[in-house]
Chains A and B, each alone.
Chain A
């Protein structure tokens, strides 16, 4: 070996030797990690192929004029400038979406928490109820539910039939611009299943002896809720609030189905994502729609960052 090192050929040999060592290490590493990479592969493909790749392409497209049939044409900031200065539909869509977020998230969380607390009482057949209450969330995005909602809130729907029993003649909730958004809020609140399950898990984490001690000290049920349940649940509430807010910003299907894709009547159900969709696929403005999408990403990021920044003042972690 030492002989070989002196000759030029030997130097190559050394490299080969080092290469062989590296190869060996590579093989060892590979052998150790291969199953891991193999199991990661579906996610990796999904992440790079279906999430990161398209996201970067859409970022590029947001600076272009792209009609999906011809190649994109670079227009710089023009799309963003139009959004900021000359697009009344943008502000209309923003208004509708913010209304939806502001109403649907708190109501949904409150409702989910109430049901979770009711279910937490060691009810008989608990799993059954859990499944039943979760069902709407599973069906949530489906066309059938949106169609059902039309049946409920149309002028001759069930809601008005019930109202007419007490002498009130209701409008066609779903097709009246003043009310239509709230029927969609109601639809979202009804789909309280997934935050409820998470609340239920959170409630289970609270030690029972705390309640026992509190009731020995004479604390009322309401006081127990206010002083024990709520503070110990804040991490879960925080999590649910962030997730539900992001979801609400991205809501699309119900409005699409119920308004037939128009966002009507009079833009009252023109969710941000619905407008984005109209621009992209209805009007062949994929570049502009991409810019709209990135604005939405920005808005969601700001909201989420804000939640995290304020969380330190109200979220209590058990340590």
Chain B
């Protein structure tokens, strides 16, 4: 008898809960509300929130809430929200993940809004391509950037070493690094960061050799020789004292705060151009940007202009129209663009680029000058990486560490990298 009671009670309780939660969702689903989610640090959040406020003052009755996380925490959160049917309306998306999310139906195709509501007419065509998957537009590029070397010019000067130029080769750069280390002007500072586990570096180096990380059909784009030589090059740098030892490099969590340049452990490190503003903010010394080094003085550069990040719209969103309007505002409204500066990369719209260029401060100019001055160092945008590329990136770093700590020879490291990545791609 008591069982019947508790069951009935339970059902009644459940019904109450259900109706409560239904109330909650219907209140949230009003079409004038937008939720944004992006990764980044506080300065980016401040800029983004200012744009949201501006949008709200110009569009009475809309309410926009934004949330941000660090890169590492961002993807789990997003995946969970999408799986839980609770995705934010506007999602900051990366080139690495756009194919995965688009093919799995998590993103809304946006081409039908063009050009009336989403006007990308003066966008760089290649960058629109970058946001397209299988012929549909799933992401609006928020800016262009390129991989770059960050230099602590003060540390170079103290050590009496000239800054590298666009013609500097890796071997020359390593000699510079060794000189800085040897000069020992600052306690615990080495010449270069150890870039052997850095995917953008490895990709750049491969492209200079005419290879790629991944082919257009999602296969591995390099061989054992390439990978072994790569690890071997850095092993020699490490031995010569040109770059930081492995236990220092392992402190780098692949973000601005823990990069060896920010930690004062190296005079040169590896980053992306749109991060320059944040790097400079974190460092008392004067920093500069330059390209990744060349393999040989006459080798073509491996750089490319990459959509630094996209705004995508969730396929689950109940306010797609509003989301599209917000994104259009984000990339095409001069006031908004001025607030955003080049923190997310150089604007893709030619008109907005001019607006920003006129008002850039010194640090912004460095990033702009760098990306527009790449010249023959910049090539075609590679195809978006296949599923499993995230695992591949971790694997490159893991093996780099094994070589760095002397647990694996560079030759074996190369062999292992190719085997592992081939397996990862097969698993999908």
Chain A interfacial positions (CB closer than 8 Å to B) = 22, 25-26, 29-30, 33, 37, 41, 44-45, 67-70, 150, 154-156, 171-172, 174-177, 259-262, 264-267, 277, 280-284, 286
- CA separation between A25 and B75, bound complex, in Å? 55
- From A156, A267, A282, give the contact of B188 (CB < 8 A): A156
Contacts of A156 in B (CB 8 A): 188
Q: 28 A-B pairs, CB-CB below 8 angstroms?
A: A26-B4, A29-B1, A29-B2, A29-B5, A33-B2, A45-B17, A70-B105, A150-B251, A172-B250, A175-B250, A175-B251, A177-B405, A260-B72, A260-B253, A261-B73, A261-B253, A262-B397, A262-B398, A265-B246, A265-B247, A265-B401, A281-B76, A282-B75, A282-B76, A282-B391, A283-B390, A284-B79, A286-B83
* Contact assessment for A26 and B250 in the assembled complex, using a CB-CB cutoff below 8 Å: no
Query: How many interface residues does B have (CB within 8 Å)?
Result: 44
Residue of A nearest to B249 (CB): A175
| Residue from B79, B250, B255 with most neighbouring chain A CB atoms (10 Å) | B250
Is B9 in contact with chain A by the CB < 8 A criterion? yes
* Contact assessment for B398 and A266 in the assembled complex, using a CB-CB cutoff below 8 Å: yes
* Contact assessment for A266 and B253 in the assembled complex, using a CB-CB cutoff below 8 Å: no
Residue of B nearest to A68 (CB): B83
Is B125 in contact with chain A by the CB < 8 A criterion? no
Contacts of A26 in B (CB 8 A): 1, 4-5
- CA separation between A173 and B74, bound complex, in Å? 28
- CA separation between A299 and B220, bound complex, in Å? 37
Is B104 in contact with chain A by the CB < 8 A criterion? yes
Is B19 in contact with chain A by the CB < 8 A criterion? no
* Contact assessment for B80 and A266 in the assembled complex, using a CB-CB cutoff below 8 Å: no
Contacts beyond the supplied A25-B1, A176-B405, A177-B401: 13 A-B pairs with Cβ under 8 Å: A45-B17, A68-B80, A69-B105, A154-B251, A262-B397, A264-B397, A266-B401, A277-B76, A281-B76, A282-B76, A282-B391, A282-B394, A283-B391
| Residue from B4, B5, B101, B105 with most neighbouring chain A CB atoms (10 Å) | B5
- From B9, B248, B398, give the contact of A264 (CB < 8 A): B398
Query: B242-281 CB contact bits vs A (8 Å, 1 = yes)?
Result: 0000111111011100100000000000000000000000
- CA separation between A67 and B401, bound complex, in Å? 29
Residue of B nearest to A262 (CB): B394
Is B13 in contact with chain A by the CB < 8 A criterion? yes
User: With A281-B79, A282-B75 as given contacts, are A172 and B5 in contact (CB-CB < 8 Å)?
Assistant: no
User: With A69-B104, A261-B72 as given contacts, are A172 and B397 in contact (CB-CB < 8 Å)?
Assistant: no
Is B418 in contact with chain A by the CB < 8 A criterion? no
Q: How far is the CB of B354 from chain A (nearest CB, A)?
A: 39
* Contact assessment for B390 and A282 in the assembled complex, using a CB-CB cutoff below 8 Å: yes
Contacts of A150 in B (CB 8 A): 251
